[in-house]
Amino acid sequence: MTVLKVEPRRQAATVDLETGLIDYAHRVEELRSPDEVLDELHAVTMRHLPLAVLGAARLPLKSGDWASLQLGTTVFLHRSVPEGWWKEFQAVAPGTFRPLLSLAAAGMALFTWTELRRMFQPIGIDNWSYDLALKHGMRDGLACPVGGRWVVIFWSPKELSNVVTRRMRITLGAAAGYAALRLEQLAAPNPARVGAHTHLTQREL
């Protein structure tokens, strides 16, 4: 009897999540700051899932140029991010392997941190990002690459394999795409990303 009751409830939650994400996509152009873009998305996902917004990053054009990731310019964090995580991440990250960002820059499909770990099977120091996340209560996450240019990232205190279904991933990925598009419009242009000798019009910037 319990199984029969849980399944309809889960289906209803999925429909409610989809409705909220579709409404978010319709309203995102009205949002006036990166904080608003992330806050509104966070409100939708947390209403239905243990899935918080971590933030979004505009990926560097040059492979491995992770030094260009600057808070407030190319990286936008949501206020739900555990205090101290970003500072520790920045302290350890230089010169280390960052599979999440590398895969996000190369791929189109959504993936969880758990799936990424199974794929790369890191050992030793390469586990640093997972260990740091666990230290701050972030057991798993969901990365949504957008066109090889952006990645929108969620985090959760739970493993997401039994929480986020394939159907949910479709609408989460679509909403992340709209969020990235709006962030691209709101983010300050950075000509250094395409080289000092490239001349772009204001519209192209």
pLDDT of residue 197: 42
Per-residue pLDDT reduced to its tens digit, 129-143: 999 999 999 999 999
Taking only the tens place, the pLDDT of each residue in 153-201 is 999 999 998 899 999 999 999 999 999 999 999 986 655 544 444 445 6
pLDDT tens for each residue of 60-93: 877 667 677 889 999 999 999 999 999 998 888 8
Give the confidence band of 2 by pLDDT, cuts at 50, 70, 90.
very low
Q: Which residues pair with 111 in a beta bridge?
A: 143
Q: For residues 127 and 180, what is the distance between their CA atoms, to the nearest angstrom?
A: 28
Global confidence as pTM: 0.85
pLDDT at 195: 46
Using a pLDDT cut of 90, give the percent of the chain over it: 57
* pLDDT over 60 at 204, yes or no: no
Q: Which domains does the chain have, with CATH numbers?
A: 2-188 (3.30.450.80)
What is the chain's alpha carbon radius of gyration, rounded to the nearest angstrom? 17
Taking the C-alpha atoms of residue 65 and residue 167, their distance in angstroms, rounded to an integer, is 34
Q: What is the pLDDT of residue 62?
A: 74
CB 146 within 8 A of CB 177: yes
d(CA 48, CA 63): 36
